[in-house]
Chain A
Amino acid sequence: MRRALAALGFLLVGLFCLAGCTSGDSCSAGNHCECSEGDQCFLGCDGDGCNQSCHNMNRCGTVCGDNCTSQCRDVNSCSQSCGSGCGLECSNTPSCGVLCGDNCHFNCHDSAQCSAEVGANSEVTCQSVGSCEVQCTGHCVVHCADMGCQVTCAGGVAATECEHGRYACGGC
């Protein structure tokens, strides 16, 4: 009987050790959340204001509400979606896709393909890219001096090239 109780005790302690520390850290406003070194990962945010980062992965994406920041670098397929007031950056990626609301600041550099839809009063910068395709749903400014810049405004109208490498929707 003593042996049976000892065995049961060992097993219960073992189970407690294994189960006692399961945790579920959340990514919430003001927190930095990061994915790296793996095949794929998608970061969410509990609401607004997260600081998200992806790097050195095959596929990675961030999803956030308003006023978030997101960086994505050295990822084969990168995606970022965000509400309004966000600051997004893609670098060293074959493909970067962005869906962003109003007052969005998106910087895409050293990448093969940058593709974005941004809201009103947004600013997009593309540098050292193979293609930079931006659709603005309101007033916006796009800085793109490379080949392959294609900026369209609401309704599919081509953006105005205000000066070399600077495009705008809704007036220069």
Chain B
Amino acid sequence: MVAGHSSLGRAVRWALLTLWCLALVASARRAHAQSTIRVPGQRPNYVLELEPHVLVTPFEAPSDPSGDGYGLGVRGTIEILPEGFISKLNDSVGIGFGLDWIHYNGIGGRGYCRRFSATPQGVPVCVETSTHSSSYVFVPLVMQWNFWLHRQWSVFGEPGLALSHRSDGDFGVVPVFAVGGRFHFNDSVALTMHLGYPAFSLGVSFLF
């Protein structure tokens, strides 16, 4: 950990996020009367969802202490099970893949070691750190399980894995998990949000 002044800001942020989620739930309850969750097939008909998005993350980078981050990305999801896993529910399943770039701000001078030297006896000593920031590219592959709640609302869960690549070297594999929701403007366009790891996103989905 690092001594810092951002803990109060984090508390405020999470409190606001909680309020926001409660408001969203309240809004969803009002829409219950027009629910489509028990009417399989009553939803936009599509094969591919394409979703460019902006990203923010409160989580640290996969292999570095790095602070918060932000970025851009795109997600494509191909529907593979239009009937979903539960026959009595209006659900569906897709395979999602994408490309996300995240820049981590760095915190407290912490980072990874850019360059090692060695003592005369050969013990490695770090002589240059990343200090403040780092950038990663993620290539996620997820299963997307959708629940079509209402003509204008759908939610989903997304477990999966992502390849991660730090801009100056390391590769790795990280778990991906997100829950999300869409507000459908019409059958082809929706506003989409993911909440999860490694990042949260807000984007626009185009359904083809």
Distance in Å from the Cβ of B178 to the closest Cβ of chain A?
A: 13
Distance in Å from the Cβ of A54 to the closest Cβ of chain B?
A: 10
Instruction: Evaluate contact between A45 and B109: CB separation under 8 angstroms.
Output: yes
Contact stretch, chosen from A13-21, A119-127, A159-167: A13-21
Asked if A33 is at the interface (CB within 8 A of a chain B CB), the reply is yes
State which of B4, B20, B58, B129 has its C-beta within 8 Å of the C-beta of A43.
B129
Instruction: Evaluate contact between B123 and A95: CB separation under 8 angstroms.
Output: yes
CA distance A164 to B35 in the complex (A): 86
Instruction: Evaluate contact between B108 and A22: CB separation under 8 angstroms.
Output: no
- For B1, give the chain A residue with the smallest CB separation: A36
Instruction: Evaluate contact between B1 and A15: CB separation under 8 angstroms.
Output: no
Render A94-117 as a binary contact track against B, CB cut-off 8 A, 1 for contact. Answer: 011111000000000000010111
* Contact partners of B2 in chain A: CB under 8 A: 25, 33-35
Provided the pairs A13-B20, A24-B106, A24-B132 are in contact, do residues A79 and B6 lie with their beta carbons within 8 angstroms?
no
Instruction: Evaluate contact between A23 and B68: CB separation under 8 angstroms.
Output: yes
State which of A6, A19, A37, A80 has its C-beta within 8 Å of the C-beta of B70.
A19
Instruction: Evaluate contact between A42 and B112: CB separation under 8 angstroms.
Output: yes
Contact stretch, chosen from B7-15, B40-48, B78-86, B92-100: B7-15
Instruction: Evaluate contact between A33 and B120: CB separation under 8 angstroms.
Output: no
* Contact partners of B185 in chain A: CB under 8 A: 4
Query: In terms of DSSP, what is the predominant structure of the interface of chain A?
Result: strand
Provided the pairs A26-B132, A36-B1 are in contact, do residues A18 and B107 lie with their beta carbons within 8 angstroms?
no
* Contact partners of A95 in chain B: CB under 8 A: 123
Distance in Å from the Cβ of A15 to the closest Cβ of chain B?
A: 5
Instruction: Evaluate contact between B13 and A42: CB separation under 8 angstroms.
Output: no
CA distance A22 to B2 in the complex (A): 15
Asked if A145 is at the interface (CB within 8 A of a chain B CB), the reply is no
Asked if B198 is at the interface (CB within 8 A of a chain A CB), the reply is no
Distance in Å from the Cβ of A50 to the closest Cβ of chain B?
A: 7
Query: Which B8-33 residues sit within 8 Å CB-CB of chain A?
Result: 9-10, 12-13, 16-17, 20, 23-24, 27
- For B23, give the chain A residue with the smallest CB separation: A10
* Contact partners of B127 in chain A: CB under 8 A: 63, 81, 99
- For A63, give the chain B residue with the smallest CB separation: B129
* Contact partners of A39 in chain B: CB under 8 A: 63
Instruction: Evaluate contact between B65 and A41: CB separation under 8 angstroms.
Output: yes
Instruction: Evaluate contact between A8 and B191: CB separation under 8 angstroms.
Output: yes
CA distance A23 to B125 in the complex (A): 29
Instruction: Evaluate contact between A44 and B109: CB separation under 8 angstroms.
Output: yes
* Contact partners of A27 in chain B: CB under 8 A: 108-110, 131
CA distance A46 to B108 in the complex (A): 10
Provided the pairs A10-B23, A10-B24, A81-B125 are in contact, do residues A20 and B13 lie with their beta carbons within 8 angstroms?
yes
Distance in Å from the Cβ of B54 to the closest Cβ of chain A?
A: 7
Hey, which bits of chain B sit against chain A, CB under 8 A?
1-6, 9-10, 12-13, 16-17, 20, 23-24, 27, 54, 56, 58, 63, 65, 67-70, 105-113, 116-133, 152, 183, 185, 191, 193, 200, 202
Return 19 A-B CB contacts under 8 Å, by A number: A7-B183, A15-B56, A18-B17, A18-B58, A18-B200, A21-B6, A22-B56, A35-B65, A39-B63, A40-B63, A44-B130, A61-B125, A63-B126, A77-B124, A98-B125, A115-B119, A115-B121, A133-B119, A133-B121
Closest CB pairs A-B (n = 4) = A27-B109, A97-B123, A44-B131, A61-B126
